[in-house]
Structure 1
Amino acid sequence: MFKVLFVTSEAAPLMKTGGLGDVSASLPRALQSLGCKMRLLMPAYPETLERAKAGGITPVAETTVRGQVVRILQTRLPGTRLAVWLVECPALFGRAGNPYHDDQGNDWPDNAERFDLLCRVACEVALDRIGLNWQPDVVHCNDWQTGLVPVLLADEPKRPATLFTVHNLAYHGRFPYETLIKLGLPERLWDYRALEFHGYLSLLKGGLVFADRLTTVSPHYAEEIQGPDQGQGLDGLLRLRRNDLDGILNGIDDQLWDPAHDHHLPATYNLRTLPRKAVNKAQLQQEMGLEESAERPLIGFIGRLVEQKGIDLMLESLDAIMGMGAQFVMLGSGQPEYEKALKAAAGRYPGRMALRLGYDETLAHRIEAGADMFLMPSRFEPCGLNQLYSLRYGTVPIVHDVGGLHDTVVNTDPISLESGAATGFIFSPATPAALTEAVSRALDLYRAPADWQRLQAIGMTRDFSWQRSGRAYMALYADACKARTQAETNGT
């Protein structure tokens, strides 16, 4: 079975800023359950070290990388048997808070150096040059923070196969030319066929060009990014590598996100005890200062308050949605102008709209369980996880027809509802009018309790566990290893 080094900048609960953190925790565990021998490599942020204490932390190796002394600390992902190697370098990773930017939202000025170090350590581990006596068959890299790993390994003989997963193509890891020199990368990489991207150094492009195999997090997004609308200027490269590109749908941790056993909830429930969901709605309304009403439909939203998530569409539709009698509960943070506008909106609708800025894991679970519907008006969405959580919790998703939302939600109409295919409400194009119309359709069905409960039940029976996706990744590992062996045989 495959030995896999899974390299990431975050993994929940050791560090999480978004979906990457969830996936980096769940996918390696699923692969391990299928027989892979997994090691997860990530930075040792201060919060990570604190959260890892309960599982024990043991120094297992030390090296010097570009003048920085680095220790490798071994622990386990909390609550699991997954082995984690933490890259400890206080000068670069010893900063509290967000791993990518300061508390003003500005990127750390040395991000290129920080994640270059992570990549170089990953390569030393991958080539068994750090004293761990372990070499993987595959190095699985994730997003721009790990994009240099395939680049640095490309010319190494007897190297492992490399797989690069794009979780969000919009984040390039883009830096000025001077960064190439600062990182000690060869001048030949400053080429449009390598790392150069419109006069900048793109670390994401490194992964896309040099990895043996590419994946992204849903089949539809894999198609979208090969076109100019969603390709972020890289669509030509992705079309060139289309035979090496696969879209594998993200899964969810069906133990962590399970309404029948969720310790965050006032009342657990399953399909058979679905009426108990109403207890969670009442408690959520009370907790968030909303009017307590079983009849008034409650719409939830959890996510970053940024343009990608369609916050502008939501704001433009909000008065019309409120005019239909709905309540709204939101959790997230992001662009200051959106935070300000949503605060003002909540002020206009006391008792009917509640906003919590920031992130709160417990509240996220309670919103998924307590809301009747979940709104995801994203302008683009590589996969999305909240619509999957919502389906599992009997909370009907309302989504824009893009990316992974297209792959996971089936629009409701009389035929799809009768056949048992319907799971939510889809709108397109990305306009306030289309969004409002979809919400209106959802509210109409909500007022037909038997049909609504049928829709909830269909969604709750859908299987989005990681096991299926894990098997697809294992097939790709086999393909990548075979291709790598053939390349070595051919001397390339």
Structure 2
Amino acid sequence: METNKVLYISQEITPYLPDSPMAELSQKLPQGIQEKGNEVRTFMPKYGCIKERRNQLHEVIRLSGLNIVIDDSDHPLIIKVATLQPARMQVYFIDNEDYFLRGQTAKDLETRLSPEDNDERIMFYVRGVAETVKKLRWDPTLVHCSGWVSALAPIYLKKIYVEDPAFQNAKVVYSLFDDKFEGTLDERMMEKLKLEGFSDKDLASIAGNPVDWKALNKLAIDYSDGIIQASPEIDPELKEYIEKSGKKFLPYPGEEGYVDKYAEFYAQL
């Protein structure tokens, strides 16, 4: 397929967060794909530890203001943007006072500071991205999700937004990292997702058990068109799950020359 408009839904991006393999890849890959002549839009959560003044973030009023309902409660969506130099690539940030702390009070990522809210946080993040892309009137041909914070994006795009003109023709890729979190998400997560419009059948792979890191990644795999191994080593159970799914799979492409390999993989979908 021709992938001339690529949406990146990322968990973390450097330089807004400390360097990590995921954060570095989430900066360099979109930049490389953009340099190949593609249109790119990149999103990440606006964690409270991100310094707005230092990174020159500013709110985009025309994109902000929508209320997103999660578990029957309204949560205002705030959109901020910054520009990565020298590539002049814009990064959009999904913000909300309920799920992301403010300023100096945030000494770590909210996903670690208040894990009890992670189910709602990732629901809000994914829906915030989708609603913002709709407001931008920009229709991606491919959506690339990176990290477990983006793991609900595939099912939302394939079930909730599947008829929306912005996403109806988009292929979905999920990058699986070795980014395991401990414990499980809220035990009411299934109930909250059903309030979003998902059926029991849609959520079959996470039914009956607490949703842990493996279950969340399996759900992402179920609704993706292609899977990428983004870490040198990934969980053996998940690798077997990918193989059994029959989905297109890109093994770990290495640390050099990976932009071309990703672009070739996109074209195969």
Question: CA–CA distance in 2 between the matches of 1:476 and 1:173?
Answer: 33
Question: CA–CA distance in 2 between the matches of 1:173 and 1:247?
Answer: 27
Q: Is 1:199 matched up with 2:222?
A: no
Superposed, 1:20-31 pairs within 5 Å as 20-31=22-33
Q: Is 1:179 matched up with 2:189?
A: yes
Higher relative contact order (CA 8 A, sep 6+): 2
Q: Deviations over 1:372-412 (max 9, x none)?
A: xxxxxxxxxxxxxxxxxxxxxxxxxxxxxxxxxxxxxxxxx
Structure 1 residues 83 and 60, CA gap change in structure 2 (3 angstroms): farther
Q: Is 1:237 matched up with 2:241?
A: yes
Q: Structure 2: which amino acid aligns with 1:477?
A: Y
Superposed, 1:321-340 pairs within 5 Å as none
Structure 1 residues 120 and 55, CA gap change in structure 2 (3 angstroms): closer
SS of match in other structure, 1:175 = coil
Superposed, 1:338-357 pairs within 5 Å as none
CA contact 1:145–1:173 (8 Å) conserved in 2: no
Q: Structure 1: which amino acid aligns with 2:175?
A: T
Q: Deviations over 1:171-190 (max 9, x none)?
A: 48842542111343433344
Q: Deviations over 1:265-286 (max 9, x none)?
A: xxxxxxxxxxxxxxxxxxxxxx
Segments of 5+ residues of structure 1 without an aligned counterpart are 252-463, 481-492
CA contact 1:144–1:173 (8 Å) conserved in 2: no
Deviation at 1:49, TM superposition (A): 4.8
Which of these two proteins has the greater Rg computed from alpha carbons?
A: 1
More helix by share: 1
Structure 1 residues 477 and 145, CA gap change in structure 2 (3 angstroms): same
Q: Is 1:145 matched up with 2:149?
A: yes
Q: Deviations over 1:242-296 (max 9, x none)?
A: 5511124243xxxxxxxxxxxxxxxxxxxxxxxxxxxxxxxxxxxxxxxxxxxxx
For normalisation by structure 1, the TM-score amounts to 0.46
Question: CA–CA distance in 2 between the matches of 1:147 and 1:134?
Answer: 22
Q: Deviations over 1:72-108 (max 9, x none)?
A: 2222125541111111212111251221212xxxx52
Equivalent residue, structure 2, for 1:7: 9
Segments of 5+ residues of structure 2 without an aligned counterpart are none
Question: CA–CA distance in 2 between the matches of 1:56 and 1:124?
Answer: 19
Deviation at 1:476, TM superposition (A): 1.9
SS of match in other structure, 1:61 = coil
CA contact 1:13–1:51 (8 Å) conserved in 2: no
Q: Is 1:108 matched up with 2:118?
A: no
Q: Percent identity?
A: 21
Q: Is 1:76 matched up with 2:57?
A: no
Question: CA–CA distance in 2 between the matches of 1:247 and 1:93?
Answer: 34
Q: Deviations over 1:216-261 (max 9, x none)?
A: 126x64xxx5xxxx42x3344222135511124243xxxxxxxxxx
Deviation at 1:55, TM superposition (A): 6.2
CA contact 1:52–1:76 (8 Å) conserved in 2: no
Q: Is 1:469 matched up with 2:254?
A: no
SS of match in other structure, 1:91 = coil
Question: CA–CA distance in 1 between the matches of 2:153 and 2:8?
Answer: 11
Structure 1 residues 138 and 46, CA gap change in structure 2 (3 angstroms): same
- Tell me the C-alpha RMSD between the 2 structures: 2.6
Q: Structure 2: which amino acid aligns with 1:178?
A: R
Deviation at 1:42, TM superposition (A): 1.0
For normalisation by structure 2, the TM-score amounts to 0.80
Equivalent residue, structure 2, for 1:478: 267
> Which portions of structure 1, spanning 4 or more consecutive aligned residues, are displaced by more than 6 angstroms?
none
Question: CA–CA distance in 1 between the matches of 2:243 and 2:10?
Answer: 25
SS of match in other structure, 1:475 = helix
Question: CA–CA distance in 1 between the matches of 2:9 and 2:149?
Answer: 9
How many residues matched?
246
CA contact 1:28–1:38 (8 Å) conserved in 2: yes
Deviation at 1:169, TM superposition (A): 6.2
Structure 1 residues 160 and 174, CA gap change in structure 2 (3 angstroms): farther
